[in-house]
Amino acid sequence: MARRSSGKAKKEKKAKKAKAPVAVEWERLPLVEKIVDEVVADHHPHLSRARIIVLGKPKAGTKGQSVVVATANRAPKNLAALYKDAAGLDVHYLITIGRDAWDEMSAEQRRILIDHELCHFLGLDEKGRWALRSDHDIQEFHEIIKRHGDKLPALHGVLRVARQMGLALEASTKAEAGEA
């Protein structure tokens, strides 16, 4: 004989489901957008008119063996249309951040990461389009190394090679300049 569940048991089951927190998959990160605004003001004046939004996703991606904490892109046309409809504003660029890796970073590392992602954005090109730089200078942008040195672990390998090359580069530069 089939057992009937009581109305009380059903209510308790519904109450448990209602209390469980809903996992947020993607969300806009306005606090990170404030960091973006600060770094743009400090180092990227060519982006002062660009509207840059930041979205968080639950997990950072991977590329090979590297963790990709953030990505920088032009805002896709479909997202730009939705944003324009909702906020009445154009969106030009999008930074996407993996929240799990972001949450592990110090405030200084977060600011460096935002600076790095902003280096991908070139601003308006000669045709009036918001341009994007996809290639890195070696493994990092020169601006990031100049501004932040070896404070970000991802820079350690680049800086080690640069230091090893320092003597050879200095010698070859002197030779080219006629100094011996």
pLDDT tens by residue, 1-43? 555 555 565 555 555 555 656 667 999 999 999 999 999 999 9
Cβ–Cβ under 8 Å, residues 66 and 108 = no
Residue 83 and residue 123 in one domain = yes
Domain count, the chain: 2
pLDDT of residue 142: 72
Residue 17 lies in a domain: no
Residue 28 and residue 116 in one domain = yes
90 versus 6: the higher-pLDDT residue is 90
Residue 103 and residue 157 in one domain = no
Residue 166 and residue 129 in one domain = no
Residue 86 and residue 49 in one domain = yes
Local structure of 132: helix, strand or coil: strand
Q: What is the mean pLDDT of residues 176-180?
A: 54
Residue 93 and residue 33 in one domain = yes
The parent domain of residue 163 ranges over 136-180
Residue 76 lies in a domain: yes
Residue 119 and residue 155 in one domain = no
- How far is residue 130's CA from residue 124's CA, in Å, rounded to a whole number? 4
Residue type, 109: Q
- The CATH number of residue 107's host domain is 3.30.2010
Residue 101 and residue 178 in one domain = no
Cβ–Cβ under 8 Å, residues 119 and 143 = yes
Summarised one tens digit per residue, pLDDT across range 104-144 is 999 999 999 999 999 999 999 999 999 999 787 666 777 87
Cβ–Cβ under 8 Å, residues 25 and 57 = yes
Residue 7 lies in a domain: no
Residue 15 lies in a domain: no
Residue 124 and residue 140 in one domain = no
Residue 57 and residue 99 in one domain = yes
Task: Decide which of 94, 118, 133 is a domain's last residue.
Answer: 133
When pLDDT is cut at 50, 70 and 90, the band that residue 165 belongs to is: confident
pLDDT of residue 102: 98
- How far is residue 154's CA from residue 152's CA, in Å, rounded to a whole number? 6
- pLDDT at 57 > cutoff 70: yes
